[in-house]
Amino acid sequence: MLAPDVETRPWPQQLALDDASYRTQLGYLFDRSAFYRGKLAAAGFDSADAAGGLADIARLPLTEKREIRATCTPANPIGAHLCATPSEIVRIYSTSGTTGTPSFIPLTAGDLDNWVTASARSYAASGIAAGQRIVSTYNAGPFVAGAALAAFDRIGLCHVPVGTGNTERLMLAVELLRPDAVVLTPSYAAYVVEWAAERDVDLGGSSVERLLVAGEPGGGEPAFRAKLEDGWGARVTEAMGIGDIGVSLWGECEAQDGMHLGARGFVHAELIEPETGVALELDDGATGELVLTHLQQRAAPLLRFRTRDHVQVRTSPCGCGRTSPRVRCIGRTDDMLIVRGVNVFPSAVRQVVSAFAPDVSGQILVKPQAAGTKQEPPLPVSVELARGASADAALAEAIRDRLRNVLLVQTRVDLVPWGSLRRSEYKSKLVEH
């Protein structure tokens, strides 16, 4: 553990400290954030005192990413939630927007340091320790993932950056430099398993003992995880963040039962029902959309920010001794479809389908027929066959039945030949929009 005093602090004590940070943060927002002054006043809160403490947070309005974007102007391209003066800002990251214009994420020196601290705790939870060697496949470029790379220095690792999208270079580094760990997206980890199998490369016999996956959901799906662990001969743990709030906020420990909040003290986590926005208790087993609030952010703090990540919470004691709640990401709310009243996550479809290995490759593509979330059954799903397997009506029917029994969704399963669904060297698309 990087910070045992912090990471094993009893959770009620953490919440008491967080309550004090939160009240200070609210005061700062009323003082400096034009966006939140206006938004909170419109909701009937004209001062930090009126807004109360963490126990009252669910009375405050949620923040959507598009609201922030709507306030961007040529004079203020960051948005009206910007609180810091230009001289206080030491870094500006971008997130890739769907509209083409990036969102800018400014950080003060203190913000950046907190990001790296949280990220280092999250990655260290995997069990990797000072003196070990890690190969990273993220580009340090414009995106917040760049800040995660600084966490490896903080842990004291020997960091070997090989960048994105060059599997030969990655495998050469693995073979020659014998790293203990590799950090990459789960999609890319799966791609490398296939890449190695095609070339008779003994991936399982490599020096790599830990795979740290992040950047998209999936690394926690049991069947998908088993495939990665089997192919790499390594233990898989996940990390997760959200660009607007912080990089690698959450990191899984060696118990492999969900990601601990590495950003405890810096970020407050809530759960809501995505359709209604109603706050849910953070109880063991609860599922919902994750909502995050900065507690100590200075440059552009966010309050009750909707992450669009749909998670399951675990609050049972963890064998590692960390006391923060844990989450497992089920999927992105944006990818969720509603088929005759039933919520369906493409990642859950993939999990069910993957159980049909070795007959299937594990690649799927959900093909909604209508625009928007609501779909009429049957929902078309392309399921890729394993290499050498041929289409078989009984297999398609068995998959369809299993999907109906497990996810309560009626599908039309189309078996497609091996290699026909696109692999990703970064993040997978499970839905054809």
* Segment lying near Zn ion (by CB under 5 A), choices 132-140, 213-221, 246-254, 411-419: 246-254
* Segment lying near Zn ion (by CB under 5 A), choices 99-107, 194-202, 248-256, 413-421: 248-256
For 186, the enclosing helix (H) or strand (E) is helix 186-198
Nearer to Zn ion among residue 306 and residue 322 (C-beta): 322
For position 261 contacting Zn ion by CB under 5 A, the verdict is: no
Is 235 within 8 Å of 254 (Cβ atoms)? Answer: yes
For position 322 contacting Zn ion by CB under 5 A, the verdict is: yes
Q: Which of 285, 275, 340, 344 is nearest to 311 (CA)?
A: 285
Residue 255 CB, nearest distance to Zn ion (Å)? 5
Site string for Zn ion, 186-215 (x = CB under 5 A): ------------------------------
* Segment lying near Zn ion (by CB under 5 A), choices 44-52, 132-140, 142-150, 250-258: 250-258
Written as six digits, the tokens of 426 are 């970064």
For position 330 contacting Zn ion by CB under 5 A, the verdict is: no
For position 39 contacting Zn ion by CB under 5 A, the verdict is: no
For position 182 contacting Zn ion by CB under 5 A, the verdict is: no
Q: For residues 60 and 70, give the distance between their C-alpha atoms in angstroms, rounded to a whole number.
A: 20
Name 286's Cβ contacts closer than 8 Å, sequence gap at least 6: 271, 280, 312, 313
For position 318 contacting Zn ion by CB under 5 A, the verdict is: yes
Written as six digits, the tokens of 237 are 């743990």
- Which position among 253, 352, 366, 407 is part of the footprint of Zn ion (CB under 5 A)? 253
The amino acid occupying position 232 is W
Beta-ladder partners of 95: 103
For position 1 contacting Zn ion by CB under 5 A, the verdict is: no
For position 320 contacting Zn ion by CB under 5 A, the verdict is: yes
Nearer to Zn ion among residue 21 and residue 315 (C-beta): 315
Beta-ladder partners of 158: 133
Nearer to Zn ion among residue 214 and residue 253 (C-beta): 253
For 413, the enclosing helix (H) or strand (E) is strand 411-416
Question: Sign of the C-alpha dihedral, residues 336, 286, 246, 254?
Answer: negative
The residues that touch Zn ion, with contacts defined as CB under 5 A, are 253, 255, 318, 320, 322
